[in-house]
């Protein structure tokens, strides 16, 4: 998979939108590792929740030309940047200013991707619509993720796949349990220790 | 906002709203941007769409000409139809305007092609 160009982005904009970092690239690496599976699946509709700069969903759109990609973000600046990143890399992306996937129809997405705000913080710190929304995850760094987990069974199409990035502090075993209660199998696609973080990408299907 | 996206959006999450679908479109600025024609994608996506909603949406912004109200059998062999569907789904874009919830009347602005579906906590179910 090619890494999308980002040199159209003014560095100053990263004061307001999450700048792609190791976690973003790990998720791209996970999708690349799983590309054979994804190509065989030939998804029609893919959604990235909380797309930030748009680098992940743009990479996926570049790799899957027969797929229609959508993205959401609570931060309008992120929505604008995601769309620009896609356009700059000559792929189509529909960007919607939305909380998670709350305003989409049920059972339509073949693939959903989420690089959540995973940092453990006070509850009060998460739930905003600015740059802090990109990293502040509240208790266990899971408050936002857990809200999406409950939506996934409704939003995914039949046989849909959900890719989720987590760190060790998010207690991945608990997430696996929640998803298995929703009837999903899981696979750990990739893991990496970077700086003080142990990051994982899980796939639920 | 492309009309394929409109087909996927609902305001069902609003408190007191049962289906919130389809959202009405009020367009101030509509553009047509050329997109590579991919008949395979169009053929596969059609069964996933609410066609009536697509037709009504296209009609409401002046782009229903030549678009059949009902999908014909063997549509996948009809090149002219697939091209028209391609245009309406992927090339026509609402740049400025708003969407309206059919039940509550709540409006959702569209600016620079991006719909704002954010709700306040008090508005959510």
The answer to whether residue A194 scores a pLDDT higher than 90 is: yes
Residue B113's pLDDT is what?
Answer: 98
Residue A165's pLDDT is what?
Answer: 98
- The H or E element spanning position A94 is strand A94-97
Residue B87's pLDDT is what?
Answer: 97
CA distance B54 to B1: 13
What are the tens digits of pLDDT across the range A98-154? 999 999 999 999 999 999 999 999 999 998 889 999 999 999 999 999 999 999 999
Residue A7: pLDDT band by 50, 70, 90 thresholds? confident
Residue A144's pLDDT is what?
Answer: 97
Residue A92's pLDDT is what?
Answer: 96
Q: Which one, of A149, A143, A193, A129, lies nearest residue A167 by Cα?
A: A193
Distance from CA of A98 to the nearest CA of B (A): 5
DSSP-assigned states of every residue in A143-189: HHHHHHHHHHHHHEEEEEEEEEEEEGGG-HHHHHHHHHHTT--EEEE
What are the tens digits of pLDDT across the range B80-122? 999 999 999 999 999 999 999 999 999 999 999 999 999 999 9
Residue range A159-171: average pLDDT? 98
The answer to whether residue A202 scores a pLDDT higher than 90 is: yes
Q: Decide: helix, strand or coil at residue B85.
A: helix
Domain ranges of chain B: 3-116
User: Strand pairing partners for B100?
Assistant: B24, B107
DSSP-assigned states of every residue in A16-85: TSPPP-HHHHHHHHHHHHTHHHHHHH--SEEEEES-TTSHHHHHHHHH-TT-EEEEEESSHHHHHHHHHH
How many Å from the N-terminal Cα to the C-terminal Cα in chain B?
25
The answer to whether residue B15 scores a pLDDT higher than 90 is: yes
| Residue B64, number of CB atoms within 10 A of its CB | 17
User: Strand pairing partners for B109?
Assistant: B98
Residue A36's pLDDT is what?
Answer: 98
The answer to whether residue B125 scores a pLDDT higher than 80 is: no
What are the tens digits of pLDDT across the range A35-73? 999 999 999 999 999 999 999 999 999 999 999 999 999
Distance from CA of A44 to the nearest CA of B (A): 7
What are the tens digits of pLDDT across the range A71-83? 999 999 999 999 9
For an interface test with B, give the residue of A103, A151, A155, A157 to mutate (most B CBs within 10 A).
A103
- pLDDT: is A22 or B72 the higher one? A22
Kindly identify which residue of chain B lies nearest to residue A67, measuring between CA atoms.
B41
Decide if domain B3-116 falls under CATH 2.20.25.10: yes
Q: Is the ipTM of this complex over 0.85?
A: yes
Domains of chain A: 11-204 (3.40.50.150)
- Closest partner residue to B5 (CB to CB) among A76, A94, A97 is A94
Kindly identify which residue of chain A lies nearest to residue B117, measuring between CA atoms.
A98
């Amino acid at each position: 998979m090619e890494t999308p160009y980002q040199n159209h982005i003014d560095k100053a904009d990263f004061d307001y939108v999450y700048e792609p970092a190791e976690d973003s690239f790990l998720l791209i690496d996970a999708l690349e590792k799983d590309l054979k599976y994804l190509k065989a699946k030939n998804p029609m509709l893919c959604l990235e929740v909380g797309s930030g700069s748009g680098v992940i969903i743009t990479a996926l759109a570049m790799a899957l030309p027969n797929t229609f990609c959508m993205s959401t973000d609570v931060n309008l600046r992120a929505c604008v940047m995601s769309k620009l990143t896609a356009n700059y890399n000559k792929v189509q992306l529909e960007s919607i200013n939305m909380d998670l996937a709350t305003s989409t129809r049920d059972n339509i997405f073949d693939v959903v991707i989420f690089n959540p705000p995973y940092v453990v913080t006070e509850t009060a710190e998460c739930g905003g619509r600015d740059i802090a929304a990109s990293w502040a995850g509240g208790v266990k760094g899971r408050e936002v993720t857990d809200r999406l987990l409950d939506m996934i069974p409704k939003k995914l199409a039949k046989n849909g796949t959900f890719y989720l990035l987590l760190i060790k502090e998010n207690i991945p075993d608990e997430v696996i349990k929640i998803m298995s209660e929703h009837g999903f199998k899981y696979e750990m696609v990739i893991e990496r220790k970077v700086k003080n973080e142990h990051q994982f990408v899980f796939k639920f299907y | 906002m492309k009309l394929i996206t409109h087909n996927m959006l609902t305001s069902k999450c609003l408190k007191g709203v049962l289906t919130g679908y389809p959202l009405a479109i009020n367009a101030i600025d509509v553009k047509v941007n050329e997109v590579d024609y991919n008949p395979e994608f169009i053929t596969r996506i059609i069964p996933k769409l609410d066609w009536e909603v697509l037709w009504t949406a296209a009609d409401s912004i002046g782009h229903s000409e030549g678009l059949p109200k009902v999908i014909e059998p063997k549509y996948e062999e009809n090149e002219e139809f697939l091209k028209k569907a391609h245009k309406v789904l992927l090339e026509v874009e609402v740049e400025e305007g708003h969407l309206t919830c059919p039940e509550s009347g709540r409006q959702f602005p569209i600016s620079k092609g991006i719909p704002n579906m954010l709700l306040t906590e008090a508005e959510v179910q």
